[in-house]
Amino acid sequence: MNMNDIMSLIPLWILSSAAILIFFSISIKRNHKVIFVITVVSLLVDFFFLTGYSIKHLQPVEPLLIIDGFGIFNIGLILLTTLAVVLISYAYFEQREERKEEYYILIILAALGAAILVISKHFASLFLGLEILSVSLYALIAYLRKRERSDEAGIKYLILAAFSSAFLLFGMALVYAATGSMEFAGIAAWITQAHEMPMIVVAGFGMMIVGVGFKLGIVPFHMWTPDVYEGSPAPVTAFIATVSKGGMVALLVRFFNTLNGYQYTTFMLVFTILAIASMFIGNILALRQNNVKRLLAYSSIAHLGYLLVAFLAGEKLGMEAVIFYLVAYFITTLGAFGILATLSDKERDAELLEDYRGLLWKRPLTAIVFSAMLLSLAGIPLTAGFVGKFYVLAAGIQTHRWLLVIILVINSVIGLYYYIKLIAIMFDQKQAARTSQELHPLVYIVSSVTMAILVLSLFWIGVNPEGMMTLIRDVIR
């Protein structure tokens, strides 16, 4: 490991040291504000380092990691998303009695895991990143100990994640046994050489798909999503929905592209089936859901299905579409859960549909932002979600995946129903009796500014996506 390697890993160092710094800071004095500031600053510093230095020094760190444009972009995305989650979290946790400071350690570690995940090019780093992410998430999910549901969600996630990790690991072991390499490139080289894939490798990849599919929350590995979304604190849900899933998508893209997986019709078939099942089952499950968190969980299943359509389309446009969709989905999901978090109170999160009745008249801006997010999820123009969906459709059509594309359209329509149902409730003339107790207004400023930035970028990307498109195109090249 030379100096260059060390330099290029600085973004990871910063995150780890931030975690340690907070750790020490807590042992000196518990102060939510200070911890919060440390977290925000370290995330920002990391981001600026990334964009200032790393982007100019692209290189692999043999044998585990690779710092390339794609990786940098994804780390940047993860950092910003984490930042947004942290910003939302402040107000959310301020009104709760539990110890809030460790939360920031955990979330920074989770971000670290995701960052490792997206730049890994080796099974070992993949595994490490994944597990750092997962273990942090177990604790994050169950963070609000006093809620009965949080430990239920935690244990469910833990058992299932470990269970699926076992599949992933076993799959890796099989692949390794056959190919003798744990580097993606090495495996790819071996397969190219071998002409035909032996059964053991196929089985290995198959088992790895289980592990990956679980993290992505696609059908039939989706069942944890609603329960975990419901049981976790709203900011954590946002984090799971974005960073955890997005990191896995990025990894999948890298792995598949390195292996040039598009030539293996078997795996394409598997993913096609998973995509179709995810779209249908996710959307249909959401139809009559009364819990907003669960509704968003089901909708996320469907959205991952949409994403798989772009993924399956492959080629350059497909990759661009995947990334763009991810960005749009990140913004939208953060926005949605951000609103949910701001509306939550000490006892419980604002998760019932009834909590939103007549919101437009009570808190018009909040309602409009939430509507914008929902419309973006539904893929309505003026929002980033629309351009994302457009991108996905374009990718699908370019490679003639008509079946997928038409199923996507059908599902968009089904999905529309529950998004507008939620909007309709917010626009209802009756108002919910529930009013959340008000904290000091300053507390909300952070959240409000975050939401404002999110909604502005939502519209900005929706109306003028050219910049984002160029950026993504550069990154992929």
Partner 1 sequence: MIKLLWLIPTLPFLSALILILVGSRLSWRVAARIGAGSIGLAALLTILVGYEFLSSGKDAYLHVAWNWFQAGDLSTTFAFYLDSLSMVFIFVITFVGFLIHIYSIEFMQEDEGFSRFFAYLNLFVCSMLILVLADNLVLLYLGWEGVGLCSYLLIGFWYSEEKNGYAARKAFIITRVGDTAMAIGLFMLFTVFHTLNIQDILTQAPLVWTTGASMAVLIAFLLLGGAVGKSAQLPLQTWLPDAMAGPSPVSALIHAATMVTAGVYLITRMHIVYELAPLAQLWVGIIGAVTLLIAGFSALTQFDLKRVLAYSTISQIGYMFLAMGVGAWSAAVFHFMIHAFFKALLFLAAGAVIMALHHEHDMFRMGGLKNKLPTIYWTFLIGAASLAALPFITAGFYSKDQILWLAWAGEKGNLWFFLAALTGAVVTAVYTFRMVFITFFGEAKTKISHVPGMRITIPLVILAALSLLGGFIELPHTLGHLTLFSDYLSPLLPSVTLKEGIESTEWAIQLVTAALALGGVYFAYILYVKQPKLSDEIKSSTFELHQFWFRGWDFDALYNLVFVRPFVYLSRINKNDVIDQFYTGLVQITEYFNTAFVKTQSGILRWYVMGIVVGAILIMTISLFVQP
Partner 2 sequence: MMLASLIAILMVGGIAAGFLARVNQTACRWLSLITVTIAFGIILFIWIDEGLSMTLTDSWLRDLYIPWIPSFGIAFHLAMDGLSLLMLALTFFLGILAVLVSWKEIQYRVGFFHFNLLWVLAGITGVFLTMDLFLFYFFWEVMLIPMYFLIGIWGHENKQYAAYKFFIFTQASGLLMLLAILALYFIHGEQTGIYSFDYFALLNTTLTPDTARWLMCGFLIAFVVKLPVVPLHTWLPDAHTEAPTAGSVLLAGLLLKTGAYGLIRFVLPIFPEAAASIAPIAMLLGVVGIIYGAVQAYSQTDFKRLVAYTSVSHMGFIMLGVFAFNELAMQGVVMQMITHGISTGALFIIAGVLYERIHTRDILRMGGMWKKVPFMGTVAMVFVMASLGLPGLGNFIAEFMTLIGAWQANKLLTIIATAGLVFATAYSLRIMQKVFLGKNIEGHGITDLSLREKFILVPLCIAIIWLGLFPQQVINTAKPTVANGSHAKNHAAIHNRTRTDNVQYTSAFDTERRKP
Partner 3 sequence: MNVLPVEMGLLLAGVLFTLGLISVLIRRNIIFMLISVEIMLNAAGLAFIVAGSRWAQADGQVMFIFILTMAAAEVSVGLALILQIYHHLKTLDSDAADKMSG
Regarding 35 and contact with partner 1 (CB under 8 A), the answer is: no
Contact call for residue 469 and partner 2 (CB under 8 A): yes
Rounded CA Rg of the chain = 21
Give yes or no for residue 247 binding partner 3 (CB under 8 A). no
d(CA 253, CA 118): 10
Between 152 and 354, whose beta carbon lies closer to partner 3?
152
Q: Pick from 382, 434, 436, 459: which binds partner 2 (CB under 8 A)?
A: 382
Does 265 contact partner 1 by CB under 8 A? yes
Q: Which does 145 bind (CB under 5 to 8 A by kind): partner 3, partner 2, partner 1, none?
A: partner 3
261 secondary structure, DSSP code = G
Verify cis geometry, omega within 30 degrees of 0, for the bond prior to 63: yes
2 phi, psi to nearest 5 deg: -95, -175
**Is residue 459 at the binding interface for partner 2, with CB under 8 A as the rule?**
no
**Alpha-carbon gap, residue 195 to 181, rounded angstroms:** 17
Q: Which does 247 bind (CB under 5 to 8 A by kind): partner 2, partner 1, partner 3, none?
A: none
List 288, 348, 400, 430, residue binding partner 1 (CB under 8 A): 288
65 touching partner 3, by CB under 8 A: no
Kindly state the smallest distance separating residue 425's Cβ from partner 2, in Å. Answer: 9
**227 near partner 3 (CB under 8 A):** yes
Q: Which of residues 413-442 bind partner 2 (CB under 8 A)?
A: 413, 416-417, 420-421, 424, 427, 429
Q: Which long-range contacts (CB under 8 A, 24 or more apart) does 251-256 make?
A: 251/117, 251/118, 251/120, 251/126, 251/212, 252/212, 252/216, 252/311, 253/70, 253/311, 253/319, 253/322, 253/323, 254/70, 254/118, 254/121, 254/184, 255/184, 256/311
- Give the residue ranges of DSSP H helices in 195-263: 199-216, 224-231, 234-239, 245-259
DSSP state for residue 440 in the 8-state scheme: -
State the binding partner of 176 from partner 2, partner 3, partner 1, none, CB within 5 to 8 A by kind: partner 3
Binding of residue 390 to partner 2 (CB under 8 A): yes
Shortest distance, CB of residue 142 to partner 3, whole angstroms? 6
And the tokens for 450?
Answer: 């975050």
Neighbours of 21 (CB within 10 A): 18
Sites of contact with partner 3 (CB under 8 A): 123-124, 127-128, 131, 134-135, 138-139, 142, 145, 148-149, 151-156, 158-159, 162-163, 165-166, 169-170, 172-174, 176-177, 180, 182, 200, 226-227, 230-231, 289, 291, 294
